Amino acid sequence: MICFDPATPEFGENPWPAYAALRNQPGLFRYEPFGGWLAARFADVQAIVTDRRMVRSPAAFLPPDQVRAMQRAANFHDMPYHERFVQTSMLEIDGPDHDRLRRAVFPYFTRTRLESLRPAIAATADALIRDLIPRGQIDFVQDLAADLPGRIIGRLIGTPDADSRQMTQWSEDVVSYFDIDRTAEKKERAERATRLFHDYLADLRAERIARPRDDLMTALIGAESRGELRGDELIASVMQILHAGHGSTIDVLGSGLHALLTHPDQMARLRADPALMPTAVQEMFRWAAPLPFFHRYASVDLTVAGRDWARGTKFAVLYASANRDPAAFPDPDRFDIARNPNRHIAFGGGPHVCLGNNLSRMNMEAIFASLIAQTRRIDLAGPVEWKTGLQAHGPISLPIRLN
């Protein structure tokens, strides 16, 4: 009998034995709190996420009245703003509409466009760390990791640095409601945060209409005027990009530094050879995927993971578990900053592969390069507090001492 309880602090700190137990059992595991089946092995996860018949929304294969019934059953109803701007974002839709929205924002996430940001990202990281070093002891997550990603994604979209902390909090409140523990308090916070986010972005949209700039908001206003975006799609798309650009990078920054601090040989290796930074960052994503879980529905009857499934079957794809699968990675529980090849699946796959994966890696490289350049030694300075649940993995608090 498998004991799988993501809500416990023990799981948050060390989920890997539970994931290994899932991988070691035959077939997929039925998990009632989720209402579906958990895919934990790399091959099964990859097969599900790359199959276009596997969709994010039941609207792809069910009539509206049945979709609404499923929405009520999952307690995703009675949330007017969340339903309009979160549950209908490009992350939550499929097919031609998803592809159309992705095309509208993609030019701002090309490698060429993002490379133009690299000097500014490095300068921002240098300045933030330079200001923190005199304090000696800091909380890496709260004092540093929670700052840089929000500033950078905000600059891409067109929001001021000063607003990044507020948007990070709104994003946390919104996405936390996608976890399996949907309390009334979480529901109220998610709806309130979505409303405040909408009001903020509606004001920004009006400002950019009056005074255009070279940013994503202005570009999407142009796409809207050409009929490429409709209704609520502009606000929903920008909101979803901000959600994705804040939380997951913060989480992997924390878990990545924790991995270096608990593997001092790898920290020493990185200090001795900073050219290893790109592969080190890739290993941080494999080692502890910041988004360990996403869902898919079978839009038709199909065969996957060695058996037949009926249309409407719900699957959880456990990216964090897949990235520790010994069938896909030699010695997967070894943290190796030079691991190559490293074809991890932390960014998902298929039509919904993470749009901002290059930007996230760039943020990581900038912060860790600056930390190594500006310190002689970094040590843990107290107990680490970890997030619980399936939706995200990373430290809430990571106290460190900077020398």
Q: What is the pLDDT along the chain (403 residues), one digit of tens a residue?
A: 677 899 999 999 999 999 999 999 999 999 999 999 999 999 999 999 999 999 999 999 999 999 999 999 989 999 999 999 999 899 999 999 999 999 999 999 998 899 999 999 999 999 999 999 999 999 999 999 999 998 999 999 999 999 998 998 999 899 888 887 788 999 999 999 999 999 999 999 999 999 999 999 999 999 999 999 999 999 999 999 988 877 789 999 999 999 999 999 999 999 999 999 999 999 999 999 999 999 999 999 999 999 999 999 999 999 999 999 999 999 999 999 999 999 999 999 999 999 999 999 999 999 999 999 999 999 999 999 999 988 899 999 999 999 9
Candidates 178, 160, 164, 157; CA nearest to 237 is: 157
Please check whether residue 48 is in contact with residue 296, taking contact to mean a CB–CB distance below 8 angstroms: yes
Residue 136: other Cβ atoms inside 10 A = 11
Give the residue ranges of DSSP H helices in 163-276.
164-175, 184-210, 216-225, 233-262, 264-272
Contacts of 48 (CB under 8 A, 6+ apart): 39, 54, 296, 304, 305, 315, 317
What is the C-alpha to C-alpha distance for residues 394 and 94, in angstroms, rounded to an integer? 29
DSSP 401: E
The CA distances from residue 257 to 69, 221, 380, in Å, are 43, 38, 10
Q: Global pTM?
A: 0.95
Candidates 147, 127, 132, 149; CA nearest to 378 is: 132
pLDDT at 391: 87
pLDDT at 3: 79
Q: How far is CA 98 from the centre of its chain?
A: 18
Q: Which pairing describes strands 395-397 and 385-386: parallel, antiparallel, or unpaired?
A: antiparallel
Q: Token pair of 220, please?
A: 């999407």
Please check whether residue 266 is in contact with residue 153, taking contact to mean a CB–CB distance below 8 angstroms: no
Output phi, psi for 341, to 5 deg: -75, 165
| Residue 256: exposure state from Cβ atoms within 10 A (0-12, 13-18, ≥19) | buried
In the numeric block, the tokens 């290059």 are attached to 358
Kind and range of the H or E run holding 285: helix 277-287
Indicate the SS3 state at residue 164. helix
pLDDT at 2: 76
Q: How far is CA 252 from the centre of its chain?
A: 9
What is the C-alpha to C-alpha distance for residues 32 and 70, in angstroms, rounded to an integer? 15
Q: How far is CA 9 from the centre of its chain?
A: 20
Please check whether residue 171 is in contact with residue 239, taking contact to mean a CB–CB distance below 8 angstroms: no
pLDDT at 1: 63
pLDDT at 311: 97
Residue 66's Cβ-side half-sphere holds a number of Cα atoms within 13 Å equal to 8
pLDDT at 178: 85
Candidates 16, 14, 2, 15; CA nearest to 332 is: 16
